[in-house]
A and B are shown apart, each in its own frame.
Chain A
Amino acid sequence: MNSNGFAIDVRDVTKKFGSRTVVNHIAMQVRHGEIYGFLGPNGSGKTTFLRMLCGLLRPDAGSGQCLGLDFRTQSGEIKKRVGYMTQRFSFYEDLSLEENLDFIARIYSVPDRKSAVDKSLERLGMTERRKQLAGQLSGGWKQRLALSACLIHEPQLLLLDEPTAGVDPKARRDFWDEIHRLAAAGLTVLITTHYMDEAERCHRLAYIAYGNLLAGGTVPDVLKNAKLTTWEVTGNDLPALAEKLRGKPGIEQIVAFGSTLHVSGRDETALRESATPFMTGAWRWQPIPSGLEDVFISLMETAKDNFS
């Protein structure tokens, strides 16, 4: 199968659990060497989609290729070329770091296992902790171990399912630096996350809610296509203002950010009309660019109206 320069190129991917459609005709194209962010609320089908890509779940419909292999019929071959990092730590807590890595290296039939394990320990700075049991590691170290185990067989594609959940900011930044280094070396990375700062570090994004793909592209594309207008309000007694604005036509989101209020909506005219009576004295209104989070929440609200 021709890969057309895409590491992942799938269409109409659908998965049902009983009568519930968890992933609904999703298409995705990820280029080689790209870091592709996959966002969406909890239960939106991100994990299910990743699991279908690496053969853990059988899709009900869909077609396409993953690393040049048919993702529905060649999952055995795909598994050999993919590193999948689960949401929950899924290595053996009663095995040491070294034993875990050695086990994974054996499962993937890595040539020259010993040096692969050593190299992997060294790269992640865990050489002196090699005998420690994985269960005794802190969250950040567990995440590093999981990443290094996913990489031991030198995969061409990394599927990372919320890899940085519960990890401190420093460890998260180190993690992302590593991801960028790997991508620069040619590895393709598909990563799910809830963090907006992480979304902004991806080359391209897809946003999924209730099983449907709602937006995609680069961060500026997503922001531009959302056509969301946002005003920042400063002044006295903002909670009272928020109460007054809530439910007015055109006003879709009112979010407190410290001592400011962000008011946004898709219908710019309606928003302005509703806001005008309050643009006086105590309150100062100022248009600002919408943030990714505002956009995603707006997308999610729309999706709720359309699909549920």
Chain B
Amino acid sequence: MRFNWQRFWAIVAKEFIQMRRDRLTFGMMVGIPMLQLILFGYAINSDPKHLPTAVHSADNSIFSRTLVWALRNSSYFDITREVQTEAEGQQLLARGQVQFLVEIPVDFSRNLLRGDKPDLLLEADATDPTAVGFAISAVNSLAATALNRDLTGPLMKLRASPAPFNLVIHQHYNPENITQYNIVPGLMGVMLTMTMIIITGLAITRERERGTMENLLSTPVHPGEVIIGKIVPYIAVGYIQVFLILLAAKFLFDVPMIGSLTLLLIMTFLFIVANLAVGITFSTIARNQLQAVQMAFFFFLPSLLLSGYMFPFRGMPVWAQDIGECLPLTHYLRVVRGILLKGNGAAQIAPDLWPIALFLIIMLAIGIKRYRQTLD
């Protein structure tokens, strides 16, 4: 049969009509590029600057002040905390509240002036190697010249190169900068987010699309029975995924597992349920399965990009970090990495516990409110 223009145009016109009717798909086609443009164009920065840094200065001298000033001036370090003890600084590192801890030892200036080359300790939370890489190379180059301003007159001789002090860098939690150590535990959160939301998103819309919802609603079954009944099997599925990734992390990637696995599994429960609640809520809004998948994708994309999984969280502008703070994946990533790589316990992960719990409560409330027991 010959190609017929009229038939061909019939198909084209029909596709346009259907596209116009399906608002959500149309919104996806426009919304996803815009979302990506904004996220990649403005939010993503693989050279993170202004990293929060704590200073523990046991030596209050002009030199230590100059050093701190030089760090700040490099634009990589924001001095957010001054701590009194080293332990306090370590705690901040473990909780992820600071990326770096600068230790200026007692007698730093005295030893410096004597030419004894005192140590200057820079401790880094290197869980995510890309987050600290640039800052560490910046600090290496600045060390040599930072004190030149103060080394005048008789001290000129100390200006010699290399620096008049030893810069010691401790990269904590992932000293060898193995990217997998950061990515593999993070992947657990990403996988759970993606699969849990899509699966449950489909669970209720499928009933509606196939007409089985009408039947279900005509029985004495209660909304709570339906929603919880639909969530429970997928909690099991979520744990299977977690076990597979943990096994792979252990035996294929040699990811260290320092903290308590029990604690991790408990936190994982909260995270899985939070994601299932998102899926259920989406499925009460979506009219068909395609829409549910599209909504899941809309949620997944910012989760992937703004949670600190793909790009360093602190490299993003404040507004993007604020969005990221609202997403459960952001907090779960901190929990997983914290437990596995840092050996964090309940006390250190507490700051990331309540945001996930709050998110879960809000989502469940919306989901149950939106689940209709009638077909109205």
A residues contacting B by CB (< 8 A) are 51, 54-58, 76, 79-80, 82, 84, 86, 88-93, 104, 107-108
Contact = CB atoms under 8 A, between A and B. Distances in A.
Interface string B141-175: 00000000000000000000000000000000000
Contacts of B374: 55-58
A51 B213 CA distance: 13
B4 interface: no
A58 B374 CA distance: 7
Given A55-B374, A57-B376, A86 B215 contact: yes
B223 to A, nearest CB: 12
A57 B214 CA distance: 10
B210 interface: yes
A79 B219 contact: yes
Contact of A91 (B215, B220, B221): B215
Given A56-B374, A56-B375, A86-B215, A93 B210 contact: yes
A266 to B, nearest CB: 38
Contact of A90 (B212, B220, B221): B212
Contacts of A91: 212, 215
A92 B209 CA distance: 12
A55 B214 CA distance: 11
A177 B53 CA distance: 84
B218 interface: yes
Contacts of A76: 220
Given A56-B375, A90-B210, 18 more contacts: A56-B214, A57-B375, A57-B376, A58-B374, A79-B218, A86-B211, A86-B214, A86-B218, A89-B211, A90-B211, A90-B214, A92-B210, A104-B219, A107-B216, A107-B219, A107-B221, A108-B219, A108-B220
B270 interface: no
29 contacts: A51-B375, A54-B218, A55-B217, A55-B374, A56-B217, A56-B218, A56-B374, A57-B374, A58-B376, A76-B220, A79-B218, A79-B220, A84-B215, A84-B218, A86-B211, A88-B211, A88-B214, A89-B211, A90-B210, A90-B211, A90-B212, A90-B213, A90-B215, A91-B212, A93-B210, A104-B219, A107-B221, A108-B219, A108-B220
Interface in B233-269: none
Contacts of B220: 76, 79-80, 107-108
A82 B217 CA distance: 12
Shortest beta-carbon contacts, A-B, top 7:
A90-B215, A84-B218, A90-B211, A88-B211, A79-B220, A107-B219, A80-B220
Contacts of A58: 374, 376
B212 A92 contact: yes
Contacts of B218: 54-56, 79, 82, 84, 86
A80 B219 CA distance: 7
A84 B211 CA distance: 13
Contacts of A82: 218
**Most A CB within 10 A of own CB, among B210, B217, B218, B221:** B218
Contacts of A89: 211
Q: Which of B215, B219, B374, B375 has its CB near the most chain A CB atoms (within 10 A)? A: B215
Nearest to A107: B219
B35 to A, nearest CB: 34
Interface of B: 210-221, 374-376
A5 to B, nearest CB: 25
Nearest to B375: A56
A305 B213 CA distance: 37
A268 B217 CA distance: 49
A102 to B, nearest CB: 14
A88 B219 CA distance: 16
Contacts of A56: 214, 217-218, 374-375
Contacts of B214: 56, 86, 88, 90
A256 to B, nearest CB: 35
A57 B216 CA distance: 13
Nearest to B225: A107
A154 to B, nearest CB: 14
B292 to A, nearest CB: 18
Contacts of B210: 90, 92-93
A246 to B, nearest CB: 36
Contacts of A93: 210
Contacts of B213: 90
B344 to A, nearest CB: 44
A103 to B, nearest CB: 10
B261 to A, nearest CB: 36
A56 to B, nearest CB: 5
A86 B219 CA distance: 12
Contacts of A54: 218
A111 to B, nearest CB: 15
A131 B216 CA distance: 22
Nearest to B215: A90
Nearest to A159: B218
Contacts of B375: 51, 56-57
Contacts of A84: 215, 218
A45 to B, nearest CB: 14
A57 B220 CA distance: 14
Nearest to B212: A90
A67 B213 CA distance: 24
A93 B215 CA distance: 13
B227 to A, nearest CB: 15
Contacts of B216: 107
A16 B150 CA distance: 84
B314 to A, nearest CB: 47
Contacts of B212: 90-92
Nearest to A89: B211
Contacts of A51: 375
Contacts of A108: 219-220
B345 to A, nearest CB: 43
A55 B216 CA distance: 12
B237 to A, nearest CB: 17
A252 to B, nearest CB: 37
A54 B218 CA distance: 6
A99 to B, nearest CB: 13
A184 to B, nearest CB: 25
